[in-house]
């Protein structure tokens, strides 16, 4: 009996080996929703950080994991189509690169795990039940609270104290404007600034709106992060320069691309951290049980070359607090 049991055990182990090998080598698929075009240098840099973080966790692109990138090039219609197509392909996990991308994917699936790299007010927007226990199929990283918009106003007034009119430039399809305005209005009154929402959906509309705003003196722009404003940041930066309007942006790469100043999260850091959640989900954890984490790294960047072109001289007290000064 012992001999027969031993043989049976060996046979069972041998039969199990091919299955185990297949399970270990099964290629997992991760879909990634981008708001920009594939040619966007900052998006490629964030993707490289994400893939490198996955590699450090044991996931090799082209080996045991495939990345299915979907690029929207700032188009809301393309974004929605990408979400639908990606869900139909049934990846193991979807990475949503921002609030708008998350909203598009959420409309298409309530079962495929979603990790969002940066989202504003995920509880208030109805994406998750709570930060500690999101529930459902969504988790990830919150980029900032609406109160960060007050900092944009303060930076504007410190660099360009003459500004008394500020246009809040946003994507027509972005849902963040109401929350931002609610936080900004009391600060704007105390700083003697009049806020003017400016919703745009394409570059031609942006050119008309900025030109009309610039006809009156003492104006400035605050650009809200969204698929359109990120994908077409070069156009917006060029419009600010052409009309000699001080402008504050939400991401550091916008100041590096020629914008006057930026204050906001370190987006590459959030993409790096998102890889850890993708790893945990691929290994069996449920997204609804992974807490939504807050951004912890913020950057203030000032472009002195742009300031000089506008005839502005940022105060030393502000420059002393700046994380990066571009000369």
Over the stretch 13-55, which tens digit does the pLDDT of each residue have? 444 444 334 445 789 999 999 999 999 999 999 999 999 999 9
113 and 205: one domain? no
For residue 4, being part of any structural domain is answered with: no
pLDDT of the residue at 174: 66
41 and 173: one domain? no
What does residue 76 show for φ and ψ, rounded to 5 degrees?
-65, -40
For residue 154, being part of any structural domain is answered with: yes
If one compares 246 and 298, the residue with the highest pLDDT of the two is: 246
For residue 6, being part of any structural domain is answered with: no
Phi-psi region of 265 (alpha: psi -120 to 50; beta: other; left: phi over 0): beta
Domain that holds residue 307: 148-265+299-326
- Classify each residue of 214-245 as buried b or exposed e, where b means 16 or more C-beta atoms within 10 Å of its C-beta: beeeebbbbbbbbbbbbbbbebbbebbbebeb
- Is the model's pLDDT at 7 over the cut of 90? no
pLDDT tens digits, one per residue of 208-254? 999 999 999 999 999 998 888 998 999 999 999 999 999 999 999 99
Separation between Cα atoms, residue 76 and residue 189, nearest integer Å: 33
pLDDT of the residue at 179: 74
For residue 8, being part of any structural domain is answered with: no
31 and 81: one domain? yes
CATH number at residue 321: 3.40.50.2300
Structural domains of the chain, count:
2
Choose the weakest-confidence range: 17-26, 83-92, 155-164, 191-200: 17-26
Residue 121 pLDDT level (bands cut at 50, 70, 90): confident
105 and 244: one domain? no
84 and 126: one domain? yes
For residue 17, being part of any structural domain is answered with: no
114 and 165: one domain? no
- Is the model's pLDDT at 167 over the cut of 70? yes
164 and 117: one domain? no
239 and 273: one domain? no
207 and 311: one domain? yes
Q: Yes or no: say if 247 and 221 are a contact pair by the CB < 8 Å rule.
A: yes
What does residue 262 show for φ and ψ, rounded to 5 degrees?
-145, 150
Separation between Cα atoms, residue 12 and residue 76, nearest integer Å: 54
pLDDT of the residue at 22: 40
118 and 159: one domain? no
As a whole-number percent, the residues of the chain with pLDDT over 70 amount to 90
Give the list of residues 6+ apart from residue 86 with CB closer than 8 angstroms, or none. 31, 33, 68, 70, 94, 105, 108
162 and 95: one domain? no
Q: Yes or no: say if 148 and 156 are a contact pair by the CB < 8 Å rule.
A: no
199 and 277: one domain? no
């Amino acid at each position: 009996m012992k001999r027969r049991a031993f043989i049976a055990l060996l046979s069972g182990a041998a039969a199990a080996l091919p299955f185990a090998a297949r399970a270990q080598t099964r290629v997992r698929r991760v879909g990634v929703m981008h708001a920009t075009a594939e040619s966007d240098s900052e998006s490629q840099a964030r993707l490289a950080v994400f893939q490198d973080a996955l590699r450090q966790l044991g996931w090799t692109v082209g080996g045991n994991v495939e990345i299915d990138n979907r690029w929207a090039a700032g188009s809301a219609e393309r974004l929605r189509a990408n979400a639908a197509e990606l869900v139909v392909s049934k990846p193991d996990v979807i990475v949503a690169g921002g609030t708008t991308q998350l909203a598009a994917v959420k409309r298409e699936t309530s079962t495929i795990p979603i990790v969002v790299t940066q989202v504003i007010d995920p509880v208030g927007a109805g994406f998750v039940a709570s930060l500690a226990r999101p529930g459902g199929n969504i988790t990830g990283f919150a980029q900032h609270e609406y109160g960060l918009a007050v900092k944009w106003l303060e930076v504007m007034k410190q660099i360009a104290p003459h500004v008394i009119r500020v246009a809040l430039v946003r994507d027509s399809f972005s849902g963040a404007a109401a929350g931002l305005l609610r936080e900004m209005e009391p600060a704007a009154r105390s700083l003697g600034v009049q806020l003017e929402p400016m919703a745009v959906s394409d570059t031609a509309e942006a050119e008309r709106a900025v030109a009309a705003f610039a006809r009156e003196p003492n104006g400035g722009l605050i650009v809200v992060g969204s698929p359109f404003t990120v994908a077409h940041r070069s156009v917006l930066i060029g419009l600010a320069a052409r009309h000699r309007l001080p402008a504050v942006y939400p991401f550091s790469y916008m100041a590096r691309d020629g914008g006057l100043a930026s204050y906001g999260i370190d987006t590459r850091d959030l993409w790096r951290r998102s890889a850890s959640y993708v790893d945990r989900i691929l290994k069996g954890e449920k997204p609804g049980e992974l807490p939504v984490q807050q951004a912890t790294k913020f950057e203030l960047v000032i472009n002195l070359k742009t300031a000089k072109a506008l005839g502005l001289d940022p105060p030393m007290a502000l420059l002393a607090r700046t994380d990066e000064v571009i000369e």
